[in-house]
Chain A
């Protein structure tokens, strides 16, 4: 029995060594593993940047379309918000986070801890990073470059009308107060007549004046909007209005 075991032992050892000696099995060079590690680190870094871009772009697009202000209009606003969320971008972000988690699992610091920790870390990192980036002029400047057709690859992405335009949600600057409402100038310089009824909800208060930026929620018929809710917004959210366009570089 011991002899049989010995023979077996020798045979496995011999088979492996013979395969090595005959060249049937080759040792992969160190550079292969170095490149593999570099690729994983590079992939993780690219995915981090992509997720940061997507998150900041989602917030930017929601501000640009006025979606971000919808929850203040109550349940109806929340319903429109849910319908209008950029689901494709959110889905792309979730997939990127999963891919990033898979790549990060190659590192002991990640797999030795419960997945929920690394997922939470990624979510906090990208949310904070995304919001910080969104506060800069990064997206507005790319947005304007795309409008002027000076953004080759990403241009179409920013020119997509669904990004800044939303059904039943209109944003612009009040240009004139009328007897039954006011007129607004939209980011594309289009004028809309806003009709205010006794049921119209005003946030934060009913006092509005010319030059103020507003988001109006309501049904549109031609160039007239019957306002369900009106919300004043801060100037800093107005960076994509035409007059806020950054100056073109000198030639």
Chain B
């Protein structure tokens, strides 16, 4: 049964869990454990904290799986849970978490892909560069750029995870790239 199901997509497996086939939930854990761990590692340094966050993400995912709409992407839904868990973990650590009220989510903003920056920070090299600059980036810029380059999510998915306007995602990624360019030049 598990071998057959393991070929299915995330949404189909989530549907099976919703229908009572609890054992196949382990397939989703296997598929996403490393990704969630990698994502958490960008915000937390303590190994135990990271493991706690990962564990809590999957526990919350199981508890709330009936709220998942199988017509939508499972990964975005899971990253939303991970985002909330990380915000809570950072709050506990008293590291300034993502602000609830930030001016850039209030007003509409125009953003255009800056080709010159795009060329400089090629997508292939991006991960390496981001890793170098990550500690110097504010959390509000760090999260969208990680989700975009490392988790390869699009702006709409990032907006759904962070519950911020799509234009804000674009602006924050653009600013993060500009900041990284500045940091690299120094």
A binds B: yes
CB distance from A108 to the nearest CB of B (A): 7
Chain B contact residues, CB within 8 Å of chain A: 18, 22-23, 25-26, 29-30, 33-34, 51, 54-55, 58-59, 62-67, 105-109, 156, 159-160, 163-168
From B26, B63, B166, B167, contact of A28 by CB (8 A) = B63
Q: How far is the CA of A33 from the CA of B29 in the complex (A)?
A: 23
Residue of A nearest to B164 (CB): A111
Residue A27 lies at the interface, judged by CB distance under 8 Å to chain B = yes
Task: List the B side residues contacting A114 at CB < 8 Å.
Answer: 105-109, 165, 167-168
Can you list 14 A-B pairs, Cβ within 8 angstroms, ordered by A?
A9-B33, A12-B33, A16-B55, A17-B23, A25-B62, A25-B63, A27-B62, A28-B64, A28-B66, A30-B18, A111-B164, A112-B165, A114-B105, A116-B107
A-B contact count (CB 8 A): 78
Residue of A nearest to B102 (CB): A115
Interface of A is mostly: helix
Q: How far is the CA of A15 from the CA of B66 in the complex (A)?
A: 21
Beyond A13-B33, A20-B25, A25-B63, 4 additional pairs, beta carbon < 8 A:
A16-B29, A28-B63, A111-B165, A114-B165
Q: Decide: B29 and A27 in contact? CB cutoff 8 A.
A: no
Q: Decide: A33 and B66 in contact? CB cutoff 8 A.
A: yes
Task: List the A side residues contacting B51 at CB < 8 Å.
Answer: 8, 12
Task: List the A side residues contacting B26 at CB < 8 Å.
Answer: 13, 17
Residue A117 lies at the interface, judged by CB distance under 8 Å to chain B = yes
Residues A12 and B62 in contact in the complex (CB < 8 Å), given A112-B156, A112-B159, A116-B108: no
Task: List the A side residues contacting B62 at CB < 8 Å.
Answer: 16, 20, 25, 27
The 5 closest A-B pairs by CB, nearest first: A33-B67, A30-B66, A16-B58, A111-B163, A114-B108
Task: List the A side residues contacting B18 at CB < 8 Å.
Answer: 30
Task: List the B side residues contacting A9 at CB < 8 Å.
Answer: 30, 33-34
Residue A198 lies at the interface, judged by CB distance under 8 Å to chain B = no
Chain A contact residues, CB within 8 Å of chain B: 8-9, 12-13, 15-17, 19-20, 25-30, 32-33, 105, 108, 111-117
Q: How far is the CA of A112 from the CA of B168 in the complex (A)?
A: 9
Residue of B nearest to A31 (CB): B66
Q: How far is the CA of A108 from the CA of B156 in the complex (A)?
A: 10
Q: Decide: B105 and A27 in contact? CB cutoff 8 A.
A: no
Q: How far is the CA of A15 from the CA of B164 in the complex (A)?
A: 33
Q: Decide: B66 and A113 in contact? CB cutoff 8 A.
A: no
Task: List the A side residues contacting B54 at CB < 8 Å.
Answer: 12
Q: How far is the CA of A34 from the CA of B48 in the complex (A)?
A: 35
Residue of A nearest to B65 (CB): A27
Q: Decide: A12 and B58 in contact? CB cutoff 8 A.
A: yes
Q: How far is the CA of A217 from the CA of B166 in the complex (A)?
A: 52
CB distance from A164 to the nearest CB of B (A): 38
Q: How far is the CA of A32 from the CA of B164 in the complex (A)?
A: 26
Q: Decide: A113 and B64 in contact? CB cutoff 8 A.
A: no
Q: How far is the CA of A122 from the CA of B30 in the complex (A)?
A: 44
